[in-house]
Amino acid sequence: METIEPQFHCTSPRLNTTPQNTTSNQPNFDIGRWHPQLKICLAYFLDIAQYTESVQALAAFINIRLPFQKDQNVAINSSAAHNVSLVPYIRRLVATGQDTQLVLHGFFGDNWIGGIGAIHELERRNYLFAAKSTTWIGVKQAYDILPNETVPFLSPLLNVTEREMQTAEDSWSEWIFMQDWMLGPRLENMTQIDETDKI
């Protein structure tokens, strides 16, 4: 009997504004098309990038251990490889101002835009939100990986565009509505009141 795999689509959290234009303006994010590209990036990172001198040097500078430094048995065909997440590396690159196109290509390969571009965009926004939410030490603690991989320094977000800032601002406003429980019918009622006031 042939197994039919379900096709998943998720609502995109405004994935359209990185300086590198890594994602489309489509309202839905196609997980099915994205995931194979992510796996290509993961394979490149595990099989090639982490063994290069440049990646090892930068990882040492920003104080984050590479997978082979944590587990000598990590290889792309091993079960351990499936437990490796690229998110901590993207977060550390963003927080230290190292998330340039050159570095992202060096870490994640030719397919980095399709594979980790969306994650990169969201982590840039998360970094903006973290800075807006708390103090410097609070942000540092959020980006530390305990016990030994604390972030050595924080850098302002690099290469920010007005469009990226506007999208982040809109998303932040949505979060404020969430905090105030201005959701569903409450948000609709408030919008109607605002429109009435403008008339």
Mean residue pLDDT across the chain: 83
pLDDT score, position 182: 78
Q: Is the omega angle on the peptide bond into residue 147 within 30 degrees of 0, that is, cis?
A: yes
Domain positions in the chain are 9-160, 161-199
pLDDT score, position 49: 97
CB 151 within 8 A of CB 95: yes
Alpha helices per DSSP H over the chain: 31-47, 53-61, 67-70, 87-95, 101-108, 112-133, 136-143, 162-179, 184-198
Distance separating alpha carbons of residues 181 and 52, to the nearest angstrom: 49
**65-79, 145-159, 170-184: segment of lowest average pLDDT:** 65-79
pLDDT score, position 58: 98
Give the mean pLDDT of 179-189: 75
Residue 75 has pLDDT above 60, yes or no: no
**pTM of structure:** 0.78
pLDDT score, position 86: 98
pLDDT score, position 177: 80
| Coil vs helix vs strand at 75 | coil
pLDDT score, position 185: 78
**CA atoms within 13 A of residue 3's CA, in its CB half-sphere:** 2
Give the mean pLDDT of 160-170: 90
pLDDT score, position 11: 47
Q: Mind listing the pLDDT tens digit for each residue in 79-104?
A: 556 689 999 999 999 999 999 999 99
Give the mean pLDDT of 102-124: 97
pLDDT score, position 6: 47
pLDDT score, position 29: 78
145-158: buried (b, 16+ CB within 10 Å) or exposed (e) per residue?
Answer: eeeebebeebeebe
Give the mean pLDDT of 61-84: 77
**10-19, 50-59, 68-77: segment of lowest average pLDDT:** 10-19
